[in-house]
Structure 1
C-alpha cells in the first residue's frame, strides 16, 4: 500500500467497519472527517484523540503535541492531558530522547496541557523514531455544534501547507540552499513551527458559535474539505483562488513538483459557520491575531474547487504530498 494514512475508503472497509461493540456513553465515535471521540462523563464531555508523527525527524516533540491538541480543539474542547509513546530504533541516543521531551514540554506549557504518562521503548521494529500522542480534553455540554445547512460559510484560518513547509525546510535545507533558496526563505518556512497550534482558534470559534471544525492535516486543504463533506453528508464548493498560501510554500512546492492544496497543513482550521455569525467570528479571531479567510460554502452534493471560473470535482485524498519529498 502507499505510504501515509489509509485512504478513507480502505479505512472504512478495514478499520471502522470492524468496530462492532457500542457503549451508550459514546456520543461521537470513529468516522471519516471526525477528529475526535466524545464520551459522556456526567456533567462534562470527555474528548479523545490520538495521532502519530511519522513524516518528520526534527522538532518531533513540538509537532506531536500541537497535532494531538489540534484535534481536541477541533471538537470545541480544551486540551487537558497527553499520553506520549516513543518508539525509537537502537541507534537512538539518550540526548535525542531528552530533546524530544524538552520540545514536548515546551509546547505543552504553551498550550497549558499536561503530559501525564505514556511509554518509551527502544525497538528494532522501527527504523526511525515514531512518536504518538493521545490527547484528552474537556468540553461543556452546552457547547454543542449546530446542524450544517446549505449556504453556510466555509472558512480557513492561517495558511495552507504550513506544517509541510516547515518539515521540508528542515529536512531538505542543504539541498534547498544549493538550489538557490535563501536563508531568509527557509527561515520563514521553519518559523511556521511556531504556528502549528489551532487550540486558540478552536476555543474562540466554540465560544462565538460555529457549526463544524476540522483541523487541516494529512491531505491538506483538499483532503480536509473532502473529509468534512463526507462527515456532514453535504457538498462543499471552494473558491480555490481564495485559499491563502505563502509565497515560500508555493516556491517549495514548485521545486519538488507537489501540490500545496494536498500538503499537510496543521496550524490551519477548517470552520463552517452560518452567514449571520461570520462577522463576529472573523472579528474575534482577527482581534486575537489569527488570520481567517472565507474560501467557500456548503452547496450541492459534491466537493468542487473553482479556479478562474473552471470547476473541478475533488475525490477522496490520496497519500499526502509530503511523502514525495521526505
Structure 2
C-alpha cells in the first residue's frame, strides 16, 4: 500500500466491516469522512476522535492535542479529555520526551482540556517517534453536526487558507534546504501557521448560528481530500471555484518550489462548513466574530465533483486524492 492514509476504498472494504458488537448506543461509527465517533449517553453525547502525528517531530505534542480537538469540535462538541500513546525510537533522549509532554500540556491548557491517561514506550524498530492521540468531547443532540448532513444547494465555506498545516511543517522540517532558494522571513512566516491549527473556536461559534448542515476538518489530501470525504459522507457532489480558494503567498511559494499542489496539501486548521442556501451571511458573521477569516468557495451539488480552474476549465475530482506532504518532504531541489 502507498504511504499515507489508507484509501477510502480500502477502509470500506477491509477496515470498517470489523466493528465489534452492536451496543445500540453508537450514533456515528466508522465511516468515510466522519471526523469522530458519537455515542449516546442519555442527556449528553460522547464524541471521540483519534489521530496520530506522523509527518513531523516539531511540537508534535502540541500538534496532537489540537488536531484531535478539531475532530471533536466539528461535531459541535466541546473537547474535554485527552489521552496519548507516545512511542519513542531507540536512543530517544529524556529531554525529547519531556518536550513532547510539555507541549501536550501547553496545548491542553490553551483549550481547557484535561489529560487523563495514555502510554509511553521505547520501541526498538521505530526510526522516528510517533504520537497517537485520542480526544473525548461532549455535546447534546440539538448541537450535533455530522459530515453526512450536506445537501444539494448548500453553500460551502472555508476558513483561513488551504495547506497551512503542510506549509508550516515543510517550512520547519525543510528549513535548511528551502532557505537556499526562498527568503528566510517567508519561511518563518510559514512556520507561524502552526499557531492557527485549531478550529475549535470557529467550529463551535458557527454551530451556534443554527444554519450549519455539515462540518469537516480537511487533513490528509488537503482541501480536495476534505471535499471528497464530505461529498462521499453526504452522498452529494460539489462545484468549487479555484479562484475563490484562499492560498497564502508563503504556501504558494513553498509548494511551487517543491512541485506540489497546495489544494491537496494537509490542512489541519482549515474548517469546511456547509450551510443552508441564503443563510451564509449568518455563518460568515459567526466565524468572523471569533476573529477567523472565512470565504465562500462553492456549492454542494447533487452528484459530480467539479473543480473550476482559474481559466474556466471544469475538472472532475476523483475519488482518491494523493497527500502532497509525503512528496514534498522527499522532493529534491534543483
Q: How high is the TM-score relative to the length of structure 2?
A: 0.95
Q: How high is the TM-score relative to the length of structure 1?
A: 0.97
Partner of 1:191: 192
For residue 242 of structure 2, the aligned residue among 240, 243, 265 is: 240
In 2, the alpha carbon distance for the partners of 1:286 and 1:184 equals 28
Partner of 2:332: none
Partner of 1:132: 132
SS of corresponding position for 1:275: coil
Mind listing any 5+ residue stretches in structure 2 that lack a counterpart? 330-334
In 1, the alpha carbon distance for the partners of 2:221 and 2:82 equals 25
Whether the 8 Å contact between 1:222 and 1:317 is mirrored in structure 2 is: no
Partner of 2:113: 113
Displaced runs of 4 or more, over 4 A: none
In 2, the alpha carbon distance for the partners of 1:230 and 1:148 equals 10
Whether the 8 Å contact between 1:154 and 1:295 is mirrored in structure 2 is: yes
1:207-248 CA-partner distances (Å, limit 9, x unpaired): 112110000100000000000000000111111111111011
Partner of 1:291: 293
Alignment of 1:313-324 (within 5 A): 313-324=316-327
In 2, the alpha carbon distance for the partners of 1:318 and 1:154 equals 19
Partner of 1:69: 69
In 2, the alpha carbon distance for the partners of 1:127 and 1:144 equals 40
In 2, the alpha carbon distance for the partners of 1:114 and 1:162 equals 27
In 1, the alpha carbon distance for the partners of 2:259 and 2:136 equals 38
SS of corresponding position for 2:119: strand
In 2, the alpha carbon distance for the partners of 1:73 and 1:161 equals 20
SS of corresponding position for 1:190: helix
Partner of 1:23: 23
Mind listing any 5+ residue stretches in structure 1 that lack a counterpart? none
Whether the 8 Å contact between 2:33 and 2:216 is mirrored in structure 1 is: yes
The structural deviation recorded for 1:124 is 1.3
In 1, the alpha carbon distance for the partners of 2:324 and 2:21 equals 35
Q: Does residue 310 of structure 1 match 2:333?
A: no
* Count of residue pairs brought into register by the alignment: 325
Alignment of 1:1-326 (within 5 A): 1-19=1-19, 21-145=21-145, 147-179=149-181, 181-209=182-210, 210-307=212-309, 308-326=311-329
In 1, the alpha carbon distance for the partners of 2:44 and 2:95 equals 40
SS of corresponding position for 2:17: helix
In 2, the alpha carbon distance for the partners of 1:227 and 1:271 equals 13
In 2, the alpha carbon distance for the partners of 1:235 and 1:56 equals 33
In 2, the alpha carbon distance for the partners of 1:247 and 1:323 equals 21
The structural deviation recorded for 1:275 is 2.1
1:89-113 CA-partner distances (Å, limit 9, x unpaired): 1111000000011111111111111
The structural deviation recorded for 1:300 is 2.8
